[in-house]
Amino acid sequence: MMRIYAVLLMISIGYVGAFEFKNAPEVQERINPSNSPQSIQSYASSLGDATKAVVNISTQKQVSNTIPNHPMFNDPFFQQFFGDIYGQIPRDRIERSLGSGVLISADGYIITNHHVIDGADKILVSLSGSTKEYTAKVIGSDSRSDLAVIKIEANTPTISFANSDKVQVGDVVFAIGNPFGVGETVTQGIVSALNKSGIGINDYENFIQTDASINPGNSGGALIDSRGALIGINTAILSRTGGNHGVGFAIPSEMVKKIAKELIEKGAIKRGYLGVGIQDVSEDLQESYAQKEGALLISIEPQSPAAKAGLMVWDLITEVEGKKITNAQDLKNLIGMLPPKQKITIKYIRDKQKRTAQVVLGELSNDEGVHASNAQGAPNNTNGGIDGLSVNEITQSLRQRYRIPDNVQGVVVTEVRRDSLADRAGFGIGDVIAQIEDSNITKPSDFWAALSKFKNKNKRILVYSRNGIKTIILR
């Protein structure tokens, strides 16, 4: 009897603590997409106009061979010695490539990728369902966004634009292009992800990700929704083999519209310039910024719009012109889409206080940009210095040895002891410590004073390294 009771007790205890799943209702009916044996499910009517607006692009580029350009090949004796063989050496060749484009106006304007037409001597365009080729001229091209506008002299169909800001993950989409040069092809998939950045393809990245097959030759083609409206321009795939693996990226139509309009009207893109280096709020920085999202300023260019507006290193930008900023890429994309000289309102957090600044944007030059970096963290040091770290004043010889730019000021790290606190924190020899919290560092005494000032507190340390700017957190 005792054994039976024990078993019943165990069963009872097990029952009380049982895990329960949320079950979906039982399936009661399976519905055929078509209720008629004479009907099928099809997107043909939605795709008709869109496919007519996608064109095939072929480019030609004359490439000179390097060997025939050697002075020896121009020597008469060399030519006479080799005779007919010399004449058979090709002096140049024609390099050809294929891509796609999308007609965006009835008078022949076409949007495509910058990399499709970059460096081409001749651009040929053929319309859907036609073998006739048109010679296109370049209206404008922007390498930073990988978009270009070309034009043919013809009356053409045109595509309708959807608002890519309204696209949702799971939407049915179609990719239209000219994969592998086989001619116009349509593939189906869904929107796999939105706002993808950090891919390393373009300077300005806000991609729509899709599993619709995008293959070589699809570049510059259309990504459309189930109505046939353009939501993006296909631009790249992630692949180890060159084939499609279901990870394709398209430039959103809202970005496409802004870039295309400016290229058509002005022939080039002029972008706003803030003059800052930025990074995301990493896990190590969450505590310092009360779990806030935004773009963290880690450098300010002297005399830049940001500097003139009073922004400082470690300000956290959370909003620009009423639009929420969740990460560094958001800020970069938004500023890059605004014109120079525009006055904008920026909301930011400094010392856990919300603030507002008015900034008049400058103009981004070709060699300028907004640089992102990573943050690192380590436990705090309990003594006056940082265990395992030695610093020195930046002398001219040290500046040359570690290739420190003339405009970078601070103290240079000359020793990092292996497995020390400094090593674990991420310091490296040749790094320049420029700021600790709100204290600027220009000489070793500044460094020691700042460490003493913030002793036993979390410290943000701004570091210039060979790999860029980084923030190291000491707890």
Structure tokens at 47: 């795709």
Can you give the pLDDT at residue 109? Answer: 94
CA-CA distance, 223 to 229, in Å (whole number)?
8
Closest CA to 167 of 205, 202, 203, 209: 209
Q: What distance in Å separates the CA atoms of residue 255 and residue 268, rounded to the nearest whole number?
A: 15
Please tell me the distance from the alpha carbon of residue 43 to that of residue 186, in angstroms, as a whole number: 11
Task: Give the number of other Cβ atoms within 10 Å of residue 169's Cβ.
Answer: 11
Tell me the per-residue pLDDT of 313-363, one tens digit each, with 9 for 90 and over: 888 899 998 888 888 888 988 888 888 999 999 999 888 888 999 999 988
Distance CA 287, CA 291 (A): 6
CATH (one of 2.60.40.10, 2.40.10.10, 3.40.50.150, 3.40.50.300) for 164-266: 2.40.10.10
Homologous superfamily of 272-372 in CATH? PDZ domain (2.30.42.10)
The residue ranges of DSSP E strands in 34-132, in sequence order, are 54-64, 92-103, 109-112, 122-126
Which architecture characterizes domain 48-151 according to CATH?
Beta Barrel (2.40)
420-444: pLDDT as tens digits: 888 888 888 889 998 888 788 888 8
Contact 217, 100 (CB under 8 A): yes
Q: Do residues 191 and 245 touch, judged by C-beta distance below 8 A?
A: no
Region of 325 please: left (phi>0), alpha (psi -120 to 50) or beta.
beta
Dist CA 102 CA 4 (whole Å) = 78
Cβ-Cβ contacts under 8 Å for 446 (sequence gap 6 or more): 411, 439, 440
The domain limits of the chain are 48-151, 164-266, 272-372, 374-474
**Using CA atoms, how far apart are residues 407 and 428, in angstroms rounded to an integer?**
20
Q: Which residues are catalytic?
A: 115, 146, 219
**Confidence at residue 90, expressed as pLDDT on a 0 to 100 scale:** 54
3-state secondary structure of 46: helix
Separate counts of helices (H) and strands (E) for the chain: 11, 28
- For residues 123 and 117, give the distance between their C-alpha atoms in angstroms, rounded to a whole number: 7
Task: Name the residue among 319, 324, 348, 340 with its Cα closest to residue 275.
Answer: 340
- CATH number of the 374-474 domain: 2.30.42.10
The whole-number pLDDT of residue 238 equals 59
Topology agreement, domain 272-372 and domain 374-474 = yes
pLDDT at 8: 43
Strands 147-151, 133-142: pairing kind: antiparallel
SS3 461: strand
| Residue 212 tokens, joined | 């619709």
Distance CA 228, CA 43 (A): 9
- Angstrom distance (rounded) from CA 85 to CA 117: 35
Question: Can you give the pLDDT at residue 345?
Answer: 92
Q: Report residue 338 as tokens.
A: 């605004």
- At 294, list the tokens: 């935004």
Beta strands in 243-334 (DSSP E): 248-252, 272-273, 276-280, 295-300, 316-320, 323-324
Quick one: pLDDT at residue 9? Answer: 43
Cα separation, 299 vs 276, in Å, equals 5
Return d(Cα 190, Cα 351) in angstroms, integer: 43
* pLDDT beneath 50, residues of the chain: 1-2, 4-15, 66-70, 72-73, 78, 85-86, 367-384
Task: Pinpoint the alpha helices (H) of 146-251.
Answer: none
